[in-house]
């Protein structure tokens, strides 16, 4: 049996049992002292001192290690360690601590030993542990570093050794990183590994200082590795010196920013050092390379907290140079394949931002706050858009906030379209990841009502479609647009179709492959407006043309399908589909027949011009039997001719269609007289308004055509549009001149005899004859409107085609035609008043809706029967209500289920009496009463002359005004071409005022359509003038700029007439009317009262001024705005007006023009105060609109590019003019309004008083003081009944029993508004940074007390006023006031200890009002006053909340007051106790409300 005992001959230590490698491969002979390593360590104890002293330092070190149980020199491998490492370290530490010489000898020997690279690598590599040969442990050096007595010396030794191996690394790449696959071959990295994660550091300061010294000279790759390992090396000690050193190194070399940030992230820093580190990182944003930006952003955003988040976000926004590529770069990058490094870096930046924001909601909130606080456009950057997009992606709860912020920034002009382009086009392939977000934001923008926001949404869709070339992304974008198209919301559909049109014009080839998605639009054309239909057909036309020109395998499918659908629509009997077909056909013609598109490929075998003519023929043939489709056809053709230059072949065909105009509508005259005197339906005809006299060769044959139109399709309905088409053909043939058809301007009209329109003759006419007479006047009126529209283009200043002599000859005729138009419309309104008739439409509806046509006599008779019944309805109203149980109930149900007609719309407009009786009753009543009424009228009114005032509103005509042909823009400027009429019989200018008033009213209607604040309901949209939709207000007013001085001139005339108050030259209008060939009607005079006309001109001018000054588009066009203001400047501006201002406006500036217009209106206001309260009120309202215009102008100026477009505008002028406005309102309120010679309507004056009082309270110096004075002193003086002048208040005569309700409501609303403002001020003070002084807090509480006193006084008025309306308002506004008051209860509780008495006084005063409200509620329920009871529940809930808030306040704070709650005694308003038994019948129902409780607060300290 073999013995396992170690051989006695062997003097070597234990060697693990594995084969010994050759000696030459294990050791490199570097020193002679290595020849006998085993003998030096053979003896267990160094007993021989001489021998030990003769040993080398290495031998001594090896002996010491051997005594401790470690074999350093191991031929078989790395040093062999003992099994118990802890005892090994303790033994060495004990030896070195007891004998410092041994410690020095050991360090000397170890230093000599590691001088060899091979030995150094041996001690740095992991060792084997005794008994565990297969287990790798820490290195020998790391084991020695855990010996406390020698640690610092070994660390210094290793750090000093480190520079020797800076350049030894054989595999360093160009990037600075080691490419070696084995770490054990890199000595420097091996040394670095020994320093990581040491259990302890004996002298950390010295070690860190030494390490940082070595770090400064390290090569770049090793420096970055050491910096990144610093947290593992130094632990949590000496962070200050490390941070300072790294900061200095970062300033010298910014390329080490990534490891520095990594080190900062892993160091355990205190708050002070953390702030320093963040400042270091923020300072590097602009200096480091772009590829390092993602790491920096991630570090900064992850380091945020509540205290520094706002600062970090702000610095990142300011210093981060993250922008998209320019347009040239985008175009170049689109040609390159792959993604550049820069683009990858920007994608990494976004990824860093996105990952940092994902789980940090505080960052998202701070970003939103930061962006909301920015007001100037130049401070906004592309990164802001990306930040909002990332928040939208990461935080679903903030998506609404992001959308609203996007909308606000776009409206304010802070976000521009090029910024979105840089986001989408600037980074290659990036938007794919953000496609859903971009589409969602674009969808939100397209759904907004603001046009500016919609334009941004359209732009985003187009950019996405252009940038994303893959089919999936483009289908997503196109699908989102089609969703908008199908939304059914007009403005959203219109914006989406705008985007489709732009895509079809830019990317038609790309859309062809997606045409299957777009073709679905054609199935839903019924829901589109005419404007949107134009856009739909333009999209398909462009696709069809592009399809023909491409070589794609789609053939001609798009064109064929489009033409097939259009042919079906044109030949459809339904008017709606026929309209769609006509619009589409004319759209195709305008595109393929345009001479500018001559290079287009043919859509069929014929040429495009031939195809256009065939489409026109097809459309015309399908419309010949119906008037309205024919009107629409001619309208679309006119629009095409006005906007396009068509091919001569097409123009030749159009010219043939207007050749028949003369034969159809005109007839020859013999020396100015009719050749054929045949009467129509017994109506005698005559020539009206012959301006050319005997030399006129023709006349307009209206009367015979009206008679024939009753039996056949009306040709007169097409007359206006056909005449416009004729004028366009004539203009194109004669280079813009209308000389070939100028005879139409002065030719007479064949109308019913003027004798028939007298009161006596009119009653003798039959129903059909009256209809013919009315329709004749109607067609004549519209004919003259088109005459003015067509020929006014010849006399405008821009027209230089005709000579000045021709203009001078044409202008008087145009003025006469305008007088004829005013005369006929007044006469027509009078006829409609006596015999209501539904007029046929001459202007097609711009909305696709069924339209009533008058092509048959049966329709007219049915319509007449419907109106005959309305004459005797008022007499039988009560009787019909009593017959609810009669058999006619079924017919009443049918009437309720009947669809509303135009008649119903007419009745709502007030043109005819409302119809409430059944049809049978109507016919019976009308048949019984008609003859007696006509006999009485003939007997009583046959000799009474009828005077028709031109200035009076034509109520019956206005109800159907939307059917008339609209006046053009040039028509409004006719009067500006007229010189002063020196040939008049006197200097009285009133003859022109009726004409000016007529055009002024038309301007007012157009401004109503342009006003952005006007609610565009469906009914009002249908009344919009044709040809006026879609025009911008600045374009419209730009054409009217020459008219502004004339507007001022006639305004001055009206003021002069009102100032003189004389009716001079009464025959002036009659004389001018005779010169215009207006007929004379027996016992009927159409006159223009100078006073009434001037009053109406006065009002209309002020209304137009206010509307023009508040149009947003006008405020952006300073030239137009300055022209309007310049037209209404005073003769001189006195410096006394600006007394009290520090910065007086300079002449020529906008503030000076605004001030001048304000002074002019003030002068007018002072004059109006002398003779009319109503006119003075109109001037005051215009002054308010002027001040509002200044506010809007300043807002618009600030929004443009974020800079103040008018820095010279004095901001002091706004409060200055507001204070003056309040004083003028107070002055008007002290004026008596009962004796007014202009408007005697009590309702109108009540509305005026309400507006004036609101202006006064809003613009006075102190609203609270004014309310306090009115509520406590003025209002209680008014009695509850009586309307005599003696009951007027001496201070405010406008406050009387008749206007008491108006004052009471306005004062309640303004008091609540004042309290809400105080609530907002308190909310600002409650914020952490909104500290306030004690005096300001006391001032706020005093203002609240003043508001409460006003409220109590207003409620107390009910005790002396028995009007139900006043009581109802007290209950309603009482609950609202208490709700607003409860919002500040937390503030009151916080300030209770400091302002205890003041707060208790608040509650006690308010308690007085709540008790009165309780009494009002009880009395209202007892007397069953529903006007009050409907408001009780909400008010009771508010008072209950107030009760418990008071209770909580007094219990939570030491007030010294007692609180008790109990049921109130039933008292009336006078304070007398009322027996509750009086309401036994309702007690059970209302027990909860009758037993209402009220808080009682008593001050114990006062007892």
d(CA 79, CA 41): 14
Report strand pairing: 80-81 vs 126-129: parallel
Report how far apart, in Å, the C-alpha atoms of 1316 and of each of 1264, 1378, 1399, 1457 are: 12, 11, 18, 28
Question: In 663-788, at which residue ranges do the beta strands (DSSP E only) sit?
Answer: 666-670, 673-674, 685-688, 698-700, 749-752
Q: In the structure encoding, which two tokens stand for residue 226, read together? A: 């050491």
CB 759 within 8 A of CB 946: yes
- Cα torsion 29, 35, 41, 47 to 10°: value is -130
CA angle at residue 867 from 864 to 870, to 5 degrees? Answer: 155
Q: What is the pLDDT of residues 11-31, one digit of tens each?
A: 333 344 333 344 333 333 333
Question: In 636-718, at which residue ranges do the beta strands (DSSP E only) sit?
Answer: 666-670, 673-674, 685-688, 698-700
Q: DSSP 3-state assignment of 899?
A: coil
Name the DSSP class of 1011. -
* For residue 1312, pLDDT beyond 70: yes
pLDDT at 680: 61
d(CA 1377, CA 1375): 5
Phi-psi region of 197 (alpha: psi -120 to 50; beta: other; left: phi over 0): left
pLDDT at 760: 85
pLDDT at 843: 81
Between helices 399-411 and 451-467, what is the axis angle to 10°?
110
Q: Among 817-826, 1065-1074, 1087-1096, which stretch is predicted with the lowest mean pLDDT?
A: 1065-1074
CA angle at residue 781 from 776 to 784, to 5 degrees? Answer: 125
Instruction: Give the pLDDT band of residue 721 (cuts 50, 70, 90).
Output: very high
Selected residue with higher pLDDT from 1063 and 1133:
1133
pLDDT at 891: 40
Between helices 361-372 and 309-319, what is the axis angle to 10°?
60
Q: What is the pLDDT of residues 386-396, one digit of tens each?
A: 899 999 988 88
In the chain the first and final C-alpha atoms are separated, in Å, by: 118
d(CA 470, CA 461): 15
Q: Is 1248 exposed, middle or buried (0-12, 13-18, 19+ CB in 10 A)?
A: buried
Q: Among 131-140, 241-250, 315-324, 649-658, which stretch is predicted with the lowest mean pLDDT?
A: 131-140
CB 915 within 8 A of CB 923: no
d(CA 392, CA 374): 19
Q: In the structure encoding, which two tokens stand for residue 139, read together? A: 């290195």
d(CA 337, CA 792): 61
> Over pLDDT 70: what percentage of the chain?
75
Q: Residues with Cβ < 8 Å from 976, sequence gap 6 or more?
A: 1042, 1043, 1046
Report strand pairing: 685-688 vs 749-752: antiparallel
Average pLDDT over residues 1474-1480: 46
d(CA 1005, CA 537): 31
Average pLDDT over residues 359-368: 85
- Cα torsion 294, 299, 300, 306 to 10°: value is 140
Q: What is the pLDDT of residues 851-884, one digit of tens each?
A: 333 343 344 444 444 444 444 434 444 344 444 4
Average pLDDT over residues 575-592: 90
Selected residue with higher pLDDT from 1392 and 1480:
1392
Between helices 382-394 and 399-411, what is the axis angle to 10°?
160
Name the DSSP class of 1141. -
CB 661 within 8 A of CB 723: yes
Quickly list DSSP for 1361-1379. Answer: ---HHHHHHHHHHHHHHHH
CB 493 within 8 A of CB 531: no
* For residue 434, pLDDT beyond 50: yes
Q: Which DSSP helix (H) or strand (E) runs through 782?
A: helix 767-791
Question: By C-alpha distance, which of 667, 672, 668, 704 is closest to 690?
Answer: 672
Average pLDDT over residues 267-283: 86
- Greatest mean pLDDT among 467-471, 928-932, 1254-1258 lies in 1254-1258
Instruction: Give the pLDDT band of residue 957 (cuts 50, 70, 90).
Output: very high
Write down the residue that tokens 């355990």 correspond to: 268
d(CA 812, CA 1148): 38
* For residue 1044, pLDDT beyond 80: yes
Instruction: Give the pLDDT band of residue 1027 (cuts 50, 70, 90).
Output: very low
Q: In the structure encoding, which two tokens stand for residue 444, read together? A: 């939100």
d(CA 1250, CA 1231): 14
pLDDT at 1448: 82
d(CA 1006, CA 1010): 6
Instruction: Give the pLDDT band of residue 205 (cuts 50, 70, 90).
Output: confident
pLDDT at 1233: 66
Quickly list DSSP for 1067-1113. Answer: THHHHHHHHTTPPPBTTEEEE--HHHHHHHHHHHHHHHHHHHHT-HH
pLDDT at 1253: 92
Write down the residue that tokens 């030993």 correspond to: 113
Alpha helices in 182-270 (DSSP H): 187-195, 204-216, 220-234, 239-252, 257-266
Average pLDDT over residues 1296-1323: 89
Average pLDDT over residues 744-765: 90
pLDDT at 429: 59
Average pLDDT over residues 89-112: 86
Question: In 388-474, at which residue ranges do the beta strands (DSSP E only) sit?
Answer: none
Instruction: Give the pLDDT band of residue 773 (cuts 50, 70, 90).
Output: very high
Q: Is 1021 exposed, middle or buried (0-12, 13-18, 19+ CB in 10 A)?
A: middle
Average pLDDT over residues 1140-1165: 88
Mean pLDDT for the chain overall: 77
Q: DSSP 3-state assignment of 426?
A: coil
Average pLDDT over residues 779-797: 90
Q: What is the pLDDT of residues 329-359, one digit of tens each?
A: 444 444 333 333 344 677 788 888 888 888 7
Average pLDDT over residues 1204-1230: 85
Average pLDDT over residues 399-426: 86
Selected residue with higher pLDDT from 442 and 85:
442
* For residue 1284, pLDDT beyond 60: no
Between helices 451-467 and 471-485, what is the axis angle to 10°?
160
Average pLDDT over residues 1065-1071: 72
Sheet holding 132-139, edge to edge: 80-81, 126-129, 132-139
d(CA 434, CA 424): 9
Write down the residue that tokens 């044409």 correspond to: 810
* For residue 46, pLDDT beyond 50: no
Average pLDDT over residues 259-287: 86
């Amino acid at each position: 049996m073999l013995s396992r005992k170690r051989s006695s001959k062997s003097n070597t230590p234990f060697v693990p049992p594995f084969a010994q490698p050759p000696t030459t491969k294990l050791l490199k002979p570097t020193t002679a002292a290595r020849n006998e390593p085993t003998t030096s360590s053979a003896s267990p104890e160094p007993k021989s001192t001489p021998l030990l002293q003769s040993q080398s330092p290495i031998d001594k070190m090896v002996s010491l290690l051997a005594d401790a149980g470690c074999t350093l020199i191991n031929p078989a491998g790395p040093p062999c360690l003992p099994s118990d490492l802890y005892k090994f370290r303790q033994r060495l530490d004990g030896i070195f601590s007891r004998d410092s010489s041994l410690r020095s000898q050991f360090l000397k020997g170890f230093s000599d030993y590691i001088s060899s690279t091979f030995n150094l690598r041996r001690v740095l590599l992991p060792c084997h542990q005794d008994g565990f040969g297969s287990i790798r442990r820490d290195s020998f050096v790391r084991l020695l570093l855990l010996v406390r007595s020698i640690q610092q010396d070994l660390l210094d030794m290793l750090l000093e050794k480190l520079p020797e191996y800076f350049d030894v690394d054989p595999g360093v790449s160009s990037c600075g990183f080691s490419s070696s696959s084995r770490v054990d071959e890199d000595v420097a990295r091996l040394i670095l590994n020994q320093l990581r994660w040491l259990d302890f550091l004996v002298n950390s300061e010295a070690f860190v200082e030494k390490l940082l010294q070595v770090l400064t000279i390290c090569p770049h790759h090793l420096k970055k590795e050491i910096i990144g390992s610093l947290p593992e090396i130094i632990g949590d000690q000496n962070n200050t010196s490390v941070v300072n050193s790294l900061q200095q190194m970062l300033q010298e070399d910014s390329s080490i920013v990534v490891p520095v940030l990594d080190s900062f992230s892993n160091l355990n820093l205190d708050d002070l050092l953390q702030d320093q580190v963040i400042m270091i990182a923020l300072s590097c944003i602009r200096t480091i390379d772009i590829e390092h930006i993602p790491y920096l952003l991630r570090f900064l955003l992850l380091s945020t907290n509540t205290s520094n988040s706002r600062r970090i976000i702000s610095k990142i926004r300011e210093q981060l140079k993250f922008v998209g590529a320019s347009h040239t770069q985008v175009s170049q990058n689109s040609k390159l394949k792959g993604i550049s490094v820069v683009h990858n870096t920007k994608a990494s930046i976004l990824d860093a931002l996105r990952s940092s924001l994902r789980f940090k909601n505080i960052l998202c909130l701070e970003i939103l706050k930061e962006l909301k606080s920015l007001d100037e456009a130049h401070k906004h950057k592309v990164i802001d858009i990306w930040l909002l997009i990332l928040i939208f992606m990461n935080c679903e709860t903030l998506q609404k906030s992001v959308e609203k912020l996007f909308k606000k920034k776009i409206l304010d002009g802070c976000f521009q379209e090029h910024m979105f382009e840089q986001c989408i086009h600037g980074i290659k392939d990036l938007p794919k990841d953000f496609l859903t977000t971009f589409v969602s934001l674009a969808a939100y923008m397209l759904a907004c009502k603001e046009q500016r926001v919609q334009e941004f949404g359209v732009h985003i869709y187009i950019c996405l479609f252009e940038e994303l070339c893959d089919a999936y992304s483009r289908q997503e974008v196109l699908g989102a647009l089609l969703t908008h198209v199908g939304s059914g919301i007009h403005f959203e559909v219109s914006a989406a179709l705008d985007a489709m049109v732009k895509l079809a014009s830019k990317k038609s080839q790309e859309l062809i492959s997606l045409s299957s998605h777009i073709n679905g639009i054609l199935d839903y054309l019924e829901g589109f407006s005419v404007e949107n239909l134009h856009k739909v057909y333009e999209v398909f036309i462009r696709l069809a043309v592009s399809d023909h020109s491409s070589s794609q395998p789609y053939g001609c499918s798009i064109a064929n399908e489009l033409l097939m659908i259009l042919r079906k629509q044109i030949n459809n009997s339904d008017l709606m589909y026929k309209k769609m077909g006509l619009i589409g056909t004319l759209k195709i013609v305008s595109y393929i027949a345009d001479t500018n598109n001559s290079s287009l490929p043919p859509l069929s075998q014929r040429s495009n011009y031939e195809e256009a003519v065939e489409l026109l023929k097809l459309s015309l043939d399908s419309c010949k039997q119906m008037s309205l489709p024919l009107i629409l056809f001619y309208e679309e053709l006119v629009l095409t001719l006005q906007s396009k230059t068509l091919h001569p072949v097409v123009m030749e065909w159009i010219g043939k269609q207007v050749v028949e105009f003369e034969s159809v509508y005109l007839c020859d005259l013999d020396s100015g007289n009719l050749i054929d005197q045949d009467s129509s339906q017994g109506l005698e005809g005559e020539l009206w308004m012959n301006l050319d006299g005997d030399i006129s060769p023709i006349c307009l044959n209206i009367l015979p055509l009206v008679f024939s139109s009753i039996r056949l399709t009306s040709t007169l309905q097409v007359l206006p549009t056909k005449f416009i088409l004729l004028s366009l053909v004539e203009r194109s043939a004669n280079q813009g001149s209308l000389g070939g058809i100028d005879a139409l301007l002065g030719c007479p009209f064949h109308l019913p005899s003027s004798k028939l329109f007298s009161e006596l003759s009119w009653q003798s006419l039959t129903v059909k004859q009256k209809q013919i007479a009315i329709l004749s006047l109607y067609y004549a009126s519209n004919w003259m409107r088109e005459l003015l529209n067509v020929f006014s283009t010849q006399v405008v200043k821009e027209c230089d085609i005709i000579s000045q002599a021709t203009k001078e000859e044409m202008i008087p005729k145009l003025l006469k035609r305008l007088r004829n138009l005013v005369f006929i419309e007044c006469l027509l309104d009078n006829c409609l008043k006596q015999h209501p008739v539904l007029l046929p439409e001459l202007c097609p509806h711009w909305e696709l809706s069924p339209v009533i046509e008058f092509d048959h006599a049966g329709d007219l008779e049915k319509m007449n029967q419907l109106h005959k019944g309305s004459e005797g309805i008022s007499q039988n109203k009560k009787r019909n209500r009593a017959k609810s149980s009669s058999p006619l109930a079924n017919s009443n149900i049918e009437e309720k289920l009947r669809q509303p007609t135009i008649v119903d719309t007419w009745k709502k407009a007030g043109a005819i009496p409302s119809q409430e009786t059944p049809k049978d009753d109507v016919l019976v009543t009308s048949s019984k009463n008609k003859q007696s009424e006509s006999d009485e009228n003939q007997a009583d009114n046959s000799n009474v002359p009828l005077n028709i005032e031109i200035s009076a509103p034509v109520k019956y005509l206005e109800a159907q005004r939307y059917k008339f042909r609209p006046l053009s823009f040039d028509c409004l400027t006719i009067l500006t071409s007229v010189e002063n009429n020196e040939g008049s019989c006197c200097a009285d200018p009133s003859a022109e005022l009726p004409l000016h008033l007529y055009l002024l009213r038309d301007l007012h209607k157009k401004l109503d359509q342009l006003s952005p604040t006007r609610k565009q309901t469906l009914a009002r949209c249908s009344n919009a003038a044709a040809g006026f939709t879609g025009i911008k207000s600045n374009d419209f007013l730009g054409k009217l700029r020459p008219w502004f001085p004339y507007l001022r001139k006639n305004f001055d005339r009206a003021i002069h007439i009102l100032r003189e108050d004389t009716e001079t030259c009464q025959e002036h209008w009659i004389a001018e009317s005779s010169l215009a060939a207006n007929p004379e009607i027996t016992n009927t005079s159409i006159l223009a009262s100078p006073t009434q006309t001037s009053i109406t001109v006065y009002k209309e001018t002020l209304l137009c001024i206010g509307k023009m000054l508040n149009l947003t588009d006008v405020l952006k066009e300073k030239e137009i705005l300055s022209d309007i203001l310049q037209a209404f400047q005073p003769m001189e501006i006195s410096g006394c007006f600006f007394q009290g201002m520090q910065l007086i406006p300079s002449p020529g500036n906008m503030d000076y023009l605004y001030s001048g217009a304000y002074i002019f209106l003030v002068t007018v206001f002072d004059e109006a105060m002398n003779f009319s309260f109503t006119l003075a009120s109109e001037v005051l309202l215009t002054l308010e609109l002027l001040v509002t215009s200044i506010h809007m102008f300043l807002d618009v100026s600030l929004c443009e590019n974020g800079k103040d477009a008018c820095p010279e505008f004095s901001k002091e002028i706004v409060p200055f003019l507001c204070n003056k406005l309040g004083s003028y309102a107070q002055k008007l309120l002290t004026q008596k309004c009962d004796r007014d010679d202009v408007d005697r309507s009590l309702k109108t004056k009540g509305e005026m008083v309400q507006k004036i009082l609101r202006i006064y309270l809003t613009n006075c110096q102190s609203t609270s003081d004014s309310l306090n004075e009115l509520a406590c002193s003025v209002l209680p003086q008014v009695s509850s009944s009586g309307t005599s002048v003696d009951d007027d208040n001496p201070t405010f005569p406008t406050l009387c029993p008749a206007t008491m309700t108006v004052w009471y409501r306005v004062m309640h609303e303004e008091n609540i508004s004042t309290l809400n403002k105080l609530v907002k001020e308190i909310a600002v003070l409650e914020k952490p940074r909104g500290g306030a002084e004690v005096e300001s807090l006391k001032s706020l509480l005093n203002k609240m007390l003043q508001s409460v006193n006003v409220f109590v006084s207003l409620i107390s008025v009910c005790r002396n006023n028995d009007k139900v309306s006043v009581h109802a308002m007290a209950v309603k506004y009482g609950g609202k006031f208490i709700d607003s008051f409860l919002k500040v209860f937390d503030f009151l509780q916080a300030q209770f200890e400091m302002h205890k008495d003041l707060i208790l006084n608040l509650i006690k005063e308010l308690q007085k009002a709540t008790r009165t409200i309780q009494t009002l509620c009880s009395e209202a329920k007892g007397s069953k006053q529903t006007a009050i009871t409907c408001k009780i529940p909400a008010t009771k809930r508010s008072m209950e909340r107030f009760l418990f808030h008071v209770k909580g306040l007094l219990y939570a704070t030491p007030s010294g007051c007692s609180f008790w709650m109990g049921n109130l005694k039933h008292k009336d308003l006078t304070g007398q106790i009322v027996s509750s038994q009086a309401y036994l019948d309702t007690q059970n129902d209302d027990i909860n409300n009758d037993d209402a409780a009220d808080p009682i607060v008593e001050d114990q300290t006062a007892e």
